[in-house]
Structure 1
Amino acid sequence: MEERTSANALAQEPPAGADEFVRLDNERSGERMPKELAAQVEGRTLSITTREKFDFRSVEPVRYDGDRWQVKLPEGTGLVMPGRTSGRLSVDEVGKAAVRELDEAGELAASRPAWVDYEPHAKVSAPRTTVLRRLDGTILEPHYGVFGADDRQVYYPGGYPWTCVGKVYVWDDWGSPYPAWSGSGVLIGDRTVLTAGHMCPWGSGNWAMQFVPAYYDGVSTLGRGVSSYVSDYYGYDTDDTVSAWDMAVLRLYTPLGVNYGYFGTKDYNSAWEGGNYWTLAGYPGAVAGGNRPSRQMWWPVLDDDGSGSAEEVEYEADSTPGNSGGPVFGFWSGLPYAIATHSGGSKTTFLWWTIEDTNVGAGGGALNSLVAWARSNWPA
Structure 2
Amino acid sequence: MDGENHKSEDSELKSETIEKLPSSVSREGKGKRLWKKVKYQLVEYNSLPAYLRDNEFILGHYRPEWPLKQVLLSVFSIHNETLNVWTHLIGFFLFLSLTIYTAMKVPKVVDIHSLQLPEVLKADLHKLQECLPSLPNMPDLHKLSGELKSTLPSIDLLPSFSRWHVMDLLYNCLPERFSHSNQTDVCVLRSMKEDVANLIAPLMLRPITRWPFFAFLGGAMFCLLASSTCHLLSCHSERLTYIMLRLDYAGIAALISTSFYPPVYYSFMCNPFFCNLYLGFITLLGVATILVSLLPVFQNPEFRTIRASLFLGMGLSGVAPILHKLILFWHQPEAHHTTGYEVLMGVFYGIGALIYATRIPERWMPGKFDIAGHSHQLFHVLVVAGAYTHYQAGLVYLKWRDLEGCRGN
**Greater Cα radius of gyration, structure 1 or 2:** 2
TM-score, with structure 1 as normaliser: 0.23
Q: Which has the higher strand share?
A: 1
Of Structure 1 and Structure 2, which has the larger fraction of its residues in helix?
A: 2
